[in-house]
Structure 1
Amino acid sequence: MSAARRSRLRELLLGAAGVAVLLFAWEVLGRLGLLGRSIPPLSEVLAAIGEHGDILARAASATGTRALVGGLIGFGIGLLLAAITAWIPGSASTVVRTAVLINAIPVVALGPVLMSLDARPFIPEIFAALSVLFSTVITAGDGFRSASRSSRDLFDVYRTRRWARFWRLDAPTGLPLVADAFRLAVPAALLGAILGEWFGADRGLGVLMVSSMRNLQYGLLWAAALVAVLISATVYAIGGLLERAAVARFSRPGQAASALAPIGRVRGLVLAVAVPAALVLAWQLWIVVDEVPLIVAPPPADVAVALAADIGAYLAAAGLTVLSAIGGLLAGALVGLGLAVLATLAPWLGAMLAPLALLIPTVPIVVFIPIVGSVLGYGVETVFASTVLMAFFPVYVLALSGLNARPPGSDDLFRVYGAGTLVRLRRLALPASVPSLMIALRLSSAMAILIAISAEWLMGQGGLGRVFSERRVVLDTAGSWAAVVVAIVLSVAAYAAASRLERSVAERWRS
């Protein structure tokens, strides 16, 4: 047996060992009741699978189909938009800003709107597509713009057309990051479909989860969650094979992506105003043309009045949300980077951690909240913990890929000079991971606000999510949408801050 096959077999065995350890811990925690009734032992979950196998199979088929359709649509559109940023550099700012704005709309606000439209039967597919779109545009776009300056100059010397340069240079260079985008998209599409089923579906894993929670059928609830994880793990493994093949064939980019094409101050100001203004205008036209009832969606002017009338309450709520989001983002980033470093230093540990890393972002947040709440209580601590759990995954995936993006032969060179493992990590692996870490930071920064709001909405605790929930209960639609507008501003601001930090780090990293 070749060394490569032995290494692959060893990795598979260690992964299986990691799954076994995780399942054993699940059984013990459930038996002892250390996390409350909300997490039953594995044996009870398996019994629920045996008892309700037909129901679970039909639900999994429905959710899987929706996630596949929506995910492929979102991934395809994301790849197209990412390619446009490479074909037409001047379009990058507009494309990225629009993607950031769309991503900043909380699903808790989008769901009720879609329920009132003809799109209601397709809410799961829409949510799956939107869940995938943003990360694909950002990750794949950075990959397509990561070709070295010398390579680009060579194509310019030969006056190669942009289309030809994209297919011969930009696309091959970006394939490893496209594979990373696919891996991020797998749990996102499935989770998006499940969330969408809560707002409009007759069957599916999301519907089954809601029904199980209402009836306190925790065994069936976790059975549905386990099926979701198995689906996600299977497709994620395919993404891992694609990523390895792409790196082996084209190697991972050894430098940060080219910055977005510089634009003048006036043009930048125009874009900053034009993109939001276009969305607000489309919002107003929708209200007028479709004669949308006020209880479904208020006009922009009513939202502005509601925001101005109680600005202090919204700012105070925003402060709580930002604290939870920033704290969760930093802690999640440290956890993700720490796990990636451990997996790099000890590949056997990485193989064992892989199942746990995939489990957390796949299981819907509504399943985690009762578990975390039973330990920390149903307050801002649980919002913070939920943000940590959901924010660490992009950092872990991209950091692990970046840490393994060392130039060919560099490890041998360091060994020749007697450099130890920690020296290679500090002077070789960590610097090589900077581009991937910066992408992960941008993705997680934009998502942290939305995750915090979703957790606040589910628990009725904390900041903007609580305000949104309370205003909707009393049918104050304008007030609830005002909370959404503040959330969008915060999410966009978080992404802009992360982008600015990335530029500063990239300048120092290149020097």
Structure 2
Amino acid sequence: MKPATRKTRRWTSYLPVISFILLLAVCWEAATTFFNIPHYIIPKLSAVLRSVCDNAAVLGKHFAVTLGEALLGLAVSVLFGTLSAIWIDVSGLARKTVYPLIVASQTIPIIALSPIMVMWFGYEIGSKIAVVVLFTFFPIAMNTADGFRSADREIGELMQSMGARKWDLFLKWKIPSALPAFFTGLKMAAAISVGGATLGEWLGGERGLGMYTKRAANMLRGDDVFAGVLLLSLMGIVLFVASQALERMMLAHRRAAKS
């Protein structure tokens, strides 16, 4: 298939989603106008978009703060989540103790742990990063650990019979086998990292879209609240799409190496 044809098909696949979003936008504007819904409950979409344009400079600064918190927290989760997955894979003791503890930790509501992060790290960026890590560590660590465990044993045994060392087995067998599962966890984590950063800002801080929406809600500025929420949604989508693009690039490189 030609590259141009492949790109055309890819863009065509987005048409149903774009059409549905446009339909929702029309219904939103029509419903708020027809039913005369108070602006502090559900503002008109046109008012939300106007708020984005009128406050673009301020929103841009808050957007950059929240994005930075989400990316830093995500980077910490990728580092420690991957290291934890490697530890679980190479150590039978860790597999029997650490793995169940990580799973059990998900029974604790993250929102209940978030104030503790503020107590430990204060109201600066550290507490926001810590809350993002609470949200994003689990999907990365667990998916990567499961990816290591699902590696084809026959391939590993074949490589061992050919004299492959442990390091070679890890680099050329375990890691390639775990990549699809790792990226599944990364995409999940990228999407929810924005929620973690927002929650951290709600708990305390002076900057970020979370704090912006909280202040707007206190003043019953529905258009400003929805403008902030709209940008947070776009941020989550952008991070997810970026993770998806990285996955395509890495897995395409892996397929090319195989061929």
- Report if TM-score (shorter chain) is over 0.5: yes
Structure 1 residue 238: Cα displacement: 1.5
- Matched to 2:32, the amino acid is G
Structure 2 partner of 1:128:
132
Q: 1:185 to 1:29 in 2, by over 3 A?
A: farther
Alignment of 1:458-469 (within 5 A): none
Q: 1:144 to 1:111 in 2, by over 3 A?
A: same
Structure 2 partner of 1:22:
24
2:151 paired with 1:137: no
Structure 2 partner of 1:55:
58
2:200 paired with 1:164: no
Q: 1:117 to 1:243 in 2, by over 3 A?
A: closer
Contact 2:192 2:236 in 1 (8 A): no
Structure 2 partner of 1:221:
225
Aligned counterparts of 1:84 and 1:74: Cα–Cα separation in 2? 15
Aligned counterparts of 2:53 and 2:174: Cα–Cα separation in 1? 49
1:337-370: CA deviations, max 9, x gaps? xxxxxxxxxxxxxxxxxxxxxxxxxxxxxxxxxx
Aligned counterparts of 2:246 and 2:104: Cα–Cα separation in 1? 30
Structure 1 residue 15: Cα displacement: 4.0
- Matched to 1:27, the amino acid is E
Task: Tell me whether 82-91 or 170-179 shows the greater mean CA deviation.
Answer: 82-91
Structure 2 partner of 1:81:
84
Structure 1 residue 107: Cα displacement: 3.2
Structure 1 partner of 2:181:
177
2:245 paired with 1:241: yes
Contact 2:151 2:173 in 1 (8 A): yes
Structure 1 partner of 2:198:
194
1:217-253: CA deviations, max 9, x gaps? 11111100111111221221122223334454557xx
- Matched to 2:26, the amino acid is F
1:398-449: CA deviations, max 9, x gaps? xxxxxxxxxxxxxxxxxxxxxxxxxxxxxxxxxxxxxxxxxxxxxxxxxxxx
Structure 1 residue 99: Cα displacement: 1.8
Structure 1 residue 128: Cα displacement: 0.6
Candidates 216, 230, 235, aligned match of 2:234 = 230
Aligned residues: 251
Structure 2 partner of 1:329:
none
Contact 2:135 2:189 in 1 (8 A): yes
Structure 1 residue 7: Cα displacement: 1.2
Q: 1:30 to 1:183 in 2, by over 3 A?
A: farther
Structure 1 residue runs without a partner (length 5+):
252-511
- Matched to 2:41, the amino acid is S
Candidates 3, 6, 26, aligned match of 1:4 = 6
Indicate the SS of the match to 2:28.
helix
2:63 paired with 1:45: no
Aligned counterparts of 2:25 and 2:52: Cα–Cα separation in 1? 15
Aligned counterparts of 2:243 and 2:100: Cα–Cα separation in 1? 27
Candidates 90, 115, 119, aligned match of 1:116 = 119
Contact 2:120 2:127 in 1 (8 A): no
TM-score by length of 2: 0.86
Structure 1 partner of 2:33:
31
- Matched to 2:23, the amino acid is V
Structure 1 residue 70: Cα displacement: 1.1
1:362-411: CA deviations, max 9, x gaps? xxxxxxxxxxxxxxxxxxxxxxxxxxxxxxxxxxxxxxxxxxxxxxxxxx
1:277-310: CA deviations, max 9, x gaps? xxxxxxxxxxxxxxxxxxxxxxxxxxxxxxxxxx
Contact 1:176 1:246 in 2 (8 A): no
Larger RCO (alpha carbons 8 Å, 6+ apart): 2
